[in-house]
Structures are given as C-alpha cells and as structure tokens.
Structure 1
C-alpha cells in the first residue's frame, strides 16, 4: 500500500548545485521504497518548467514535486534572471518557515492521497526547518551539498574570530601574504592555509552576514537528527572523523550521490534545470577522439569580469586543444557572455560553446580528458566519479577548500591564480592534456574513480550507510 510507505519531504537550498545533489539523494530514497515530496521554490519551478522537458518534472509513482514561495517577487518577464544568492538565502530564512509548515500540514491531510510525513531531509544550510520539524516531532536529517572540508572550515569561524585571525585587518590582507597564514589547529585539516578556508572569511567587516551565518548554520546543525555528507569514505575519512567528533548528531558519508542515482536499476530522468540543457554537445563529443576534449564550466553562480572571460577564452584558443565550453547567459558581470568575433573565428573548427549541458554525461564521455572548474562540490564529485582531472579556479564558499584538497591532498587538480592570465591558462591546459604531470593526474583520477564506483555501486559502502541512516534515524 502506498500509504504505508515512509514519506520524506526533501527541501534543498534553491540553487542549481544544491537542487541537483538533493534530487540524486531523493532518487536513492525513492529506490529504498520511500514516498518523496521534493520541494522547489515557486520561482525555480516555473523557471525549470520553461527550460526542461515537462516529463522531467511530472514526477513518478510515489515521487511528486511541490512548491513554496521564496519571499522574493519577480515580474513574469524576468523569470529567466538568476537570483542574487545572498538575497535569496536570507529571504528563505525569513519567509519559508510558515509555507513549509503549511505544506506539511497539507501533505498530512488524509485527503492528500499520500502517506503522512515521516521525516524531512533539509539542506544543511536551511536550518530554519528545525522550527517546523521540532513542532511536528518528526526527524530532520540535514543533507550537506557542500564539501565536508568546507563545512568543517565554517564550523571554526568563531574560533578564528576569537584568535583575532579574522576579520581581516584591512583590504591589504587580501593581496599581501597574510592569507598564506597556516592554520594548524583545526582537526582533520592539517596545515590548511587561511586562503584555503571558505571564502566568506575574506572580509574586514565583523558583522558580515555570510561570515556569521556560516558559523551559526553549522552550529545549529547540532539539533538535527543526523547529517549526511555527499562523499565516500576513502576520500574524506580524516575530515568525516573530525566532524563526527564535534557534531552532536550522527554523521554519515553517503556518496557520490550522482553515482548512487546512476546505479539504481531503471533510474528515472527527473531533473530540475534552471537553464535549458543542450544535448547536441553529446553528439559533437561522439565525433571526437578519446581524451581529446577539454571541458570548461564555471557552474551556476560564478560571475566573471569581462577581462577574466577574455583571458580564459584566449588561453583556451592558444592551447590548440578541442574544447567544450559552457557559457551561461549571465556568466559575465553585467553583460551577455558572447565571444569576440576574432576569438570565435579562431576556435570555430575545434570547439563547442553552449549555454548549459548535461554535465554528468559530458564528464563521463570518453572524449573528455580534462575539466576547468570553479570547484563546486557537485562538479568535483562528478569529475572524481568520471576519473577526469581538473584545472581549478575557485570563486566562492567551499570552492577554495575544495581546490586545496583536489590539488594538494588528492593529486587530481592544478590551480589557476586568482588573476587570470591567458599564458597560464594555456600552459596548464597543455600540461594537463599532454604533459607528464597531466598523465600522473589522470592516473590518480582513475584510481579515485574506482573507489567512488565501489562505494556507490549497489551493495557498496554508501548504500550500507544509507540503509543505516534509514533504520537508525529516518524510521526511528
């Protein structure tokens, strides 16, 4: 009977990367015989309906989508505009408690046609959901879409303040050697540099909203029923052990969730895309030689200056490699991401440039040999899962610590300096695609892929831990 199933309400932070990761996890729960209600904001749901095959959002038996308002008003003709991340984050904290409470009450109504809600899966940075689940006496499991190392770094922000390390003394600390200061006392993160901690520490303002909120959110997680990190045991053991020692709820490493979803028999094609995917890029990749294509995608939030865009473009052009480049319409600050005619002519015969693509399929394609990335955790996990080495240019949040670990701990990344220079871009692409260091990185990337696949395959460590958290927390 459908009404006898456990019912999980899944609420991601409403940005593309967090939505993707939560949807993969929801797929895994659905496979484990859960009834799923996946909650989008009204804005994102309308935008996704315009961009996707409607079947992708139609749901499945015992898997349905629901919406709540995010508290921000946009005219209908502005629906394709990306929302400001900080404004959105603050708005959902202020405005989503009552709509979420009302939604769960509706779902629990016997007339709803589904089972009563048995647990809520919240993004780890939507801790306001605790007010609702505490009132309803249902478990609230936090699903963390950022990296374990990024989360751990945020947990120690207050101690960094108490030790007078942050806020920065002046803007000069951004360009002198101060950010190279080694922080040697955070457990699980030996000899991390200040520049490798989440980007929100780079402020001179002690009242900075994101600086304080990151710390508050990680500490509020102590009231969660459990915390799940999108990783696998072999990759993040020291950091997961450190998190387990400081967080009150049980911690589970279950991932990579994109692989979990992939290994589900007859897995579904449910997607929530805020940009329309261009599947023609797969046909183009099919025509290329194995390992010959360099893939470039800065994710859903990174914003480049016009000069940075041009420097990346000339670096790609001068590398002489074939490449697939995703250039969102809002990739460049204040203008549309269009290549100058002289660059477009230079790269015409050896490139595919598009607004958005099915990234997991692209990274898994045998033609792809390298990836220039912003180091978002979804992108890092998908690249590791595909065995593809990376060139790293972190932008915001946990991307700085992710870059550090990809390059220094796991040996599968090379970092581009913050000041983008076409010569450096060209040199690093050639080194990754053709050089000796690139060959070593590819070897290590394939080793990590084997471990990721082992963890995420049915019966692997991540599925075992998913069964544990279901039994020990979700159904308790």
Structure 2
C-alpha cells in the first residue's frame, strides 16, 4: 500500500518535466503513488515518445488538463503559454483533485508543484492537500527571483522588472556574477511576453508561504553561496533513480538510441557531443559555421538537431554534409542524453547550459563549451566559466556569429586545458558524494521523504 498519494505539477516545458519525473521515480521507490499532470498538448507528446516495448511507469499515473491554447498556437512563446494556462488550469486542477478524492481511496495527500506553477498552492490549500514546492533551475536563479523586491527597492529594477542601469550583479560569494541585461525573465525571446512572465513570477513569490518545504534541483556544494541567502531551501540533487536508464523521463521527442551503438565504435574520450535543448534555434549561417567547425576539429561528433532547430536549410545540403563526413559525424533528432553523457567515448559537451544538462554533464565529469540561448542559461554559463571553471564560452564575432575557426580552436583549447580537467574531476566526485549514503542531498531527500510520510 502506498505511503501517500502525491500529485506532481510541472511547468509545461521539457526542462521542467524531466527533473520532476526523476523525482517521481525516486518517490515510487519509497512507496509513494504518483499522479503526474501534464498539459493535454504535452501529454500527447509524452505518450507518443514513450518506448513501445516497456514504459516502466509503475507507480506513476500520467494525466492531463488543458493549457488554454488552441492546437495551432505557439507553445514556445512563454508569454502566450503563461497567459493561457493561468486562466484555465486552476479550475481544471481543482476538479481533478476533487474527482480523485471522490473515489475514496488513495486520496491526494501532497501536491509537489513547480515553483513556476505556485498558483496551484492556493488550490491545494483550499482542498486540504499539503504543499511542497519544487525549484527546477539553479538555486542562484531562485535567489534572484526572491530578491525582486530588494532589487526594485535598491533601484536596480523598475516596477516592471526591467533594469534601470547596466551593472554587474553578484549577491553572495561563490554565486555567479552577471550583467543586469541578462536577468532571466527579461531573456525569454519575444519581449512582448515579458510583462506576463514577470507578473507570473511575482505572483508566484506571494504563494510561497503556503508551501511547507521547498526542494531544489541542485546540491549544496556547487551553490553554497545561494544557500547562505536562503538556508531553509532543501537541495536534493543529483537524484539518479535509474542507473540503467530504463525509466522514462517524460520526453517530448522519441530518443534515437542507435547513436549509442555509434558511440561504442569510437575511441575513449574522443567524441564532441552537441545538444542545445528543446528551444534553441540557429540561423542557416550559424548552423553551417558550426557544422564546418566541428569537421575542422578532426574529432568525431554527435549532434542533436531537432526538427525545428533551423528553418530554411535545404535537405540536400544536410545530406551532402552527412555523406562527406559519415566517418566522423552522427546527427540525431533527439538523443538519450543521460546515457550519452555517461558513455566513455564522450570527451566534452557543447551545450545551451540548461540546468538539467548542466547537472548531467557535471555529474558525468565532462567539460563544457557554453552556448546559452535564453532565460537562466546565461547565469548557468557564469557558474561554469567563472565559478566552477569547468568550461569555456563559445564567443561570437562582431557579426554575432561563432565562426568555424572559433569552434575548432575552442574545442582544442577545452580538451587540452589541464586546470579545467582538474575541476571537472573534482565536481564529478562532489556529485557522486551527494548520491552516497551520508551525502548532503541523500540526507535532504531522506528528510523530504520522512516529512511526506508523516501525518
């Protein structure tokens, strides 16, 4: 019998679904029953991407509610998506809790919701459900969000969240420094969506007092500076509920696992792995420069290119490129990234610096080439390049393009950088220590489980 029935609600983006699915699997191992809520749009994608032979979702019930958008509307538009779901999801969430609890058995005891969906805390409170907040990005990013009132009071931000002046910010030692121009909520793509996102963030801040605990997708040793500002936060990563990588993580695209066979044929520490997450888009010029630059390295490379990664590039060009470089190159539309990063043939990770990718690369002892795209990714780049020193920036030229020569030179510099190699190993050991009995995250996760098991 389950210790408790837990409802889990992520923000409806891939980088938010994945860590909460990891958490779900870990909770199932401790006897919890999970109801995992996706939007109807994402629910359909997750079901389609699940491996047909064995989905390994034991203990997790996938359900869905509407997001308020029409099927044809652009869900990559953060502002549009937030405007839609804040109008329609609250009512549907309340009705879902009521329907489950009417059945009389295994009533919802806890809601674990993404902090970006903290509006749900008021509904849970109304329904008599206990509340845990989950923060999916870096704790430094959460600290910035919680410090919004002070940033406004100090005249750094105006009331709408825009910077009043250009300056570098650093809130505590061992936290990343960053310019005011890279504040995460002002880096969402279309600036017309900024007012909606900023209002969502500030409203969610007000709901935080309803949560009994806030658990973070991080671990103490890599973000100790942020935890000096907010010591009550509970970092529980890096969770690794499935050492064999068989448990699905709510992916929106089917994985191409054939690239693992290709990796098996490569020499140890030889492959450059390139993946820019679920949002990044490239121009045709930048795509070709990166492609030629990877060839110039002389190293084998595995590159994840989503179907919507680039527009306007001819299939003929791609086919010719692949044919000309078939001995060294493998391109897939989506990769089993955790398995790729753990593979002995992978030498480095060229990344958009999404927080999940950052943690996965760090845990597997890989150096980074940083190529951030939006939101908190610039902050994560600062961690990698300036605080942890386990990677290098991919800097553009005056025209805004990272040239093929720059790609070649940066890869070579990274893979021959002795100090970075040393830092990479130290961070890998720190992550492993947190997974071990007695590690900080191990103990924090145990505290979290005990809290939810209690009456």
| Partner Cα separation in structure 1 for residue 340 and residue 129 of structure 2 | 39
Once the two structures are superposed, the pairs formed by residues 386-465 of structure 1 within 5 Å of their partners are 386-418=364-396, 419-422=400-403, 423-433=405-415, 435=416, 437=417, 439-465=418-444
In structure 2, relative to structure 1, the CA distance for the partners of 1:383 and 1:319 (3 Å cut) is: same
2:262 to 284, 287, 303: 284
In structure 2, list runs of 5 or more residues that go unmatched: none
2:88 to 95, 101, 118: 95
Partner of 2:129: 138
2:118 to 86, 111, 127: 127
CA drift of 1:124 comes to 1.2
Q: TM-score normalized by structure 2?
A: 0.89
In structure 1, list runs of 5 or more residues that go unmatched: 245-249
Partner of 2:12: 14
In structure 2, relative to structure 1, the CA distance for the partners of 1:376 and 1:149 (3 Å cut) is: same
Retained in 2: the 8 A contact 1:317–1:346? no
In structure 2, relative to structure 1, the CA distance for the partners of 1:107 and 1:339 (3 Å cut) is: farther
| Partner Cα separation in structure 1 for residue 410 and residue 322 of structure 2 | 21
Partner of 1:40: 38
2:139 to 142, 145, 148: 148
Once the two structures are superposed, the pairs formed by residues 238-249 of structure 1 within 5 Å of their partners are 238-244=225-231
Retained in 1: the 8 A contact 2:56–2:247? no
In structure 2, relative to structure 1, the CA distance for the partners of 1:349 and 1:407 (3 Å cut) is: same
Partner of 1:69: 66
| Partner Cα separation in structure 1 for residue 170 and residue 76 of structure 2 | 37
Once the two structures are overlaid, the 10-residue window that deviates more, 421-430 or 335-344, is 335-344
Q: Secondary structure at the match of 1:208?
A: helix
CA displacement, residues 56-82 of structure 1 (integer Å, 9 cap, x when unaligned): 65731x32221112122216xx9xx86
In structure 2, relative to structure 1, the CA distance for the partners of 1:191 and 1:23 (3 Å cut) is: closer
Matched, 1:327 2:320: no
Figure out how many residues of one structure are paired with residues of the other and give that number.
449
Partner of 1:208: 195
Q: TM-score normalized by structure 1?
A: 0.86
| Partner Cα separation in structure 1 for residue 204 and residue 407 of structure 2 | 36
Partner of 1:384: 362
In structure 2, relative to structure 1, the CA distance for the partners of 1:304 and 1:338 (3 Å cut) is: farther
CA displacement, residues 98-145 of structure 1 (integer Å, 9 cap, x when unaligned): 11111111221236xx51111001011001111211101222111111
| Partner Cα separation in structure 1 for residue 19 and residue 37 of structure 2 | 13
Retained in 1: the 8 A contact 2:304–2:332? yes
| Partner Cα separation in structure 1 for residue 191 and residue 248 of structure 2 | 43
Q: Secondary structure at the match of 1:441?
A: helix
RMSD (Å) for aligned C-alpha atoms: 3.0
CA drift of 1:386 comes to 0.5
Q: Secondary structure at the match of 2:431?
A: helix
Q: Secondary structure at the match of 2:63?
A: strand
CA displacement, residues 310-344 of structure 1 (integer Å, 9 cap, x when unaligned): 22222212222210000000112577888545543
Partner of 1:355: 333
Matched, 1:194 2:180: yes
Partner of 2:450: 471
CA displacement, residues 411-460 of structure 1 (integer Å, 9 cap, x when unaligned): 11111125332222221111123x2x2x3322211211111111123553
| Partner Cα separation in structure 2 for residue 53 and residue 32 of structure 1 | 24
Q: Secondary structure at the match of 1:428?
A: helix
Matched, 1:86 2:79: yes
Q: Secondary structure at the match of 1:38?
A: strand
Q: Secondary structure at the match of 1:273?
A: coil
In structure 2, relative to structure 1, the CA distance for the partners of 1:383 and 1:267 (3 Å cut) is: closer
List structure 1 segments (4+ residues) > 6 angstroms apart after TM superposition: 201-207, 334-338
CA drift of 1:199 comes to 5.5
